[in-house]
Homo-oligomer: A and B are copies of this chain.
């Protein structure tokens, strides 16, 4: 007796996947019918394809991308567990990101911390250890998490860090959704042959809170500079006074945003609240 096979319609009834979805899964190789009639093109599914189909439905239901679903189906049990666990971890991160985004939105709506104090500061050339790389906007957090420990370790071997770490973001970085970034850690003393982050005159604002909110400070700062017409196209400098390594609550983070000015622009205000 032949093992019974199912048409797409019947298979769809068992699995609650639409026919169009089954066509799609056939096309991309996620659920290939046990049999395809070479003349009519009719798809035939075997009963033992029902179980994988239920799994596919659930994996897609938790947002796993189709290529990963295919990988899960092809994997043995141990690897299957690992792939699924990894995706659930991605889900948790995504959830945390969304929660943070809701907080950001509410912060904006309630108008908390709207006052941004802008000071003018001349920053000298800074001997540093630094790293420059092409980084996409989406990868910047992971890149920083990997890079700064390395830089601090290197600085330690050269006499220790001489101040908070920072980074340089060229003008087009945000416009392009990524690009060349420079991360640096200043050295405690002058060091012959060390890299140097060039000084400049800056309009500086202190950003309190999560990085996702940085655009608020950028906006206030950039709008002020635009209104005065004294900006340049040099990179923006960020200085990380209190970092995710120092506090667990993102609300505790402190970052200085430094917008480059022409040397002939506004005068150094001397009194800089964040640099007493």
* Chain A residues in the interface with B (C-beta under 8 A): 4, 6, 8-10, 12-20, 47, 50-51, 53-55, 57-59, 61-63, 81, 84, 88, 91, 95, 98, 101-102, 104-105, 108-109, 171-172, 174-177, 212, 214-216, 218-219, 222-223, 226-227, 229, 236
Contact = CB atoms under 8 A, between A and B. Distances in A.
Contacts of A51: 219
Nearest to A214: B16
18 contacts: A4-B226, A10-B222, A13-B171, A14-B218, A14-B219, A14-B226, A18-B174, A47-B223, A50-B219, A54-B219, A55-B108, A58-B101, A58-B105, A61-B105, A61-B212, A62-B102, A63-B98, A95-B95
Contacts of A91: 98, 102
Contacts of A219: 14-15, 50-51, 53-54
A175 B13 contact: yes
Contacts of A9: 171-172, 175
Number of identical protomers: 2
B13 A229 contact: no
Given A58-B108, A227-B47, A218 B4 contact: no
